[in-house]
Amino acid sequence: MKTLIVSVVTPDGPVMEDTFEMVSCKAENGELGVLPGHIPLVAPLTISVVRLKASDRTDRIAVSGGFLEVRPDKVTILAQSAELPSDIDVERARKAKERAERRLQTKQDDIDFRRAELSLRRALNRLDIAQNR
């Protein structure tokens, strides 16, 4: 089975690099599946789960936006943030979710709803990854 080298990098440095048979992620235009030999592509990513399939396992990473760069033999994910399930602080993510929900329920003019909504989406994504290890 052919494989892809997958590299996940954030502004803080590399998160992981390994070989996988398939990468599945959510771009702004929809769900993308990448196999070895895929045509070159650059796509913006949404706050979502990246699934990395190897013959014996599927790894998951929580990403908070960024870009996917595809070459026939390599996939690079340049993410604003990326966390493996083992790195997620569940309690911190739960508190961030509750804070964002409170902000969204408040009808105050000084609340930045878009920012609160993105914060909620990031927290829910992190909780989903952490709870489905």
In percent, the amount of the chain with pLDDT more than 70 equals: 95
The percent helix, strand, coil of the chain (3-state, each to 5) is 30, 45, 25
- For the chain, the average pLDDT equals 87
pLDDT at 45: 94
pLDDT at 108: 67
> How is 31-88 classified by DSSP, letter by letter?
EEEE-TTPPPEEEEEEEEEEEEEETTEEEEEEEEEEEEEEETTEEEEEES-EE-GGG-
Residue of higher predicted confidence among 18 and 115: 18
Class of the CATH domain delimited by 4-83: mainly beta
**Res 133 pLDDT > 70:** no
H-helix or E-strand containing 14?
A: strand 13-20
Residue 9 pLDDT level (bands cut at 50, 70, 90): very high
Domain ranges of the chain: 4-83, 88-131
pLDDT tens digits, 83-117: 888 887 888 888 888 888 888 787 666 667 777 77
Residue 52 pLDDT level (bands cut at 50, 70, 90): very high
**Res 5 pLDDT > 60:** yes
Class of the CATH domain delimited by 88-131: mainly alpha
**Computed from CA positions of residues 39, 41, 47, 50, in that sequence, does the dihedral angle turn out positive or negative?**
positive
